[in-house]
A = this chain, B = another copy of it.
């Protein structure tokens, strides 16, 4: 199996039980999450050797975090203990037409305040096969932008595969325009890009999809192919992968996923899913994709594996997927969801 490294923040997620609102709650479920962490946790469960570059505070919450990392088999050789805040977020799970809501409280966290000089990156990519980053970390501070860029470049120069999940979060950027500019500058250091927004394409002044009239769900697949080809060319990407969710008034989605490689746009069937927890599903997709690409099989199989992880995570409570290769295979090769006994 492969050695996968990532950079990202570990957040404590605090959420009212069931479908309560914060105003109704007097207990909060607590667990850990964070986009890159979620990707690594799934990869570890699928058998890979994973490590996270991060900073956690040197207090009881830091110790709580360490035990969590141990339990998920996430290597801590690049975890620094420093500062006194663990980033956290409050998550109010929606129901039907009531949207889920995330309130971040991650500013000034130990990770937020980290500087390049805090780390020893000399041998950081030793034996590493894959390096994964998301667009969240560079959105946090200028310094973290630089650290992200530094590591992506270094990985690229060492021949380590780099995946970059754009992961646009409106509340972390000043403007969509700013996100587009800054994220686009990083894409060129990646081999695999997850997501197609927000990305700068030559000559456009607004977002790509608006410019070219690309609407979600992606019905115009010719246009879609045209756009991803442009992106791949402009940013020299080996693969571009992305998902599509359609929802109605129910706690249900129609899911679909796409993978562009060597001029071909692979796609899955549209499949329905009921949602237990929506958070971390994109990360599960990315983990499945990395797992699939690492196994060097057919692109379609890599995409289906990513899709299986993606679907499965919708049925698991919490940020972190709980999945085995056996679960993935069952989804890939069987249609029965009957009780197993």
Measured CB to CB, the residues of A under 8 A from B are 14, 17-31, 59-61, 63-64, 67-68, 70-73, 84-86, 90, 92, 94-105, 107-108, 169-171, 247-252, 271-276, 278-279, 311-312, 314-318, 322, 324, 327, 330-331, 336-341
> Known: A90-B61, A107-B84, A274-B96. Contact between A341 and B20, CB under 8 A?
no
* CB pairs A–B below 8 angstroms (20 shown): A14-B28, A14-B30, A21-B316, A23-B64, A23-B322, A25-B30, A27-B28, A27-B30, A63-B324, A68-B71, A70-B72, A86-B105, A97-B311, A98-B327, A102-B339, A247-B338, A249-B271, A249-B272, A249-B273, A250-B274
> Known: A95-B315, A314-B96. Contact between A26 and B29, CB under 8 A?
yes
Flag if B21 contacts A31 (CB, 8 Å): no
Flag if A67 contacts B23 (CB, 8 Å): yes
Contacts of A330 in B (CB 8 A): 99
Complex Cα distance, B103 from A22, in Å, reads 22
Contacts of A324 in B (CB 8 A): 63
> Known: A18-B317, A339-B101. Contact between A30 and B28, CB under 8 A?
yes
Flag if A341 contacts B98 (CB, 8 Å): no
Contacts of A338 in B (CB 8 A): 99, 247
Q: A19-B315, A95-B315, A100-B340 are in contact. List 4 more A-B contacts (CB 8 A).
A: A24-B322, A104-B341, A249-B272, A279-B339
Complex Cα distance, B71 from A73, in Å, reads 8
Contacts of A250 in B (CB 8 A): 252, 272, 274
Flag if A316 contacts B29 (CB, 8 Å): no
Complex Cα distance, B71 from A341, in Å, reads 28
> Known: A23-B322, A103-B61, A279-B339. Contact between A273 and B67, CB under 8 A?
no
Flag if A251 contacts B274 (CB, 8 Å): yes
> Known: A31-B26, A70-B70. Contact between A276 and B100, CB under 8 A?
no
Complex Cα distance, B96 from A194, in Å, reads 26
Contacts of A67 in B (CB 8 A): 23, 71
Complex Cα distance, B338 from A247, in Å, reads 8
Closest Cβ of chain B: how far from A87's Cβ, in Å?
A: 10
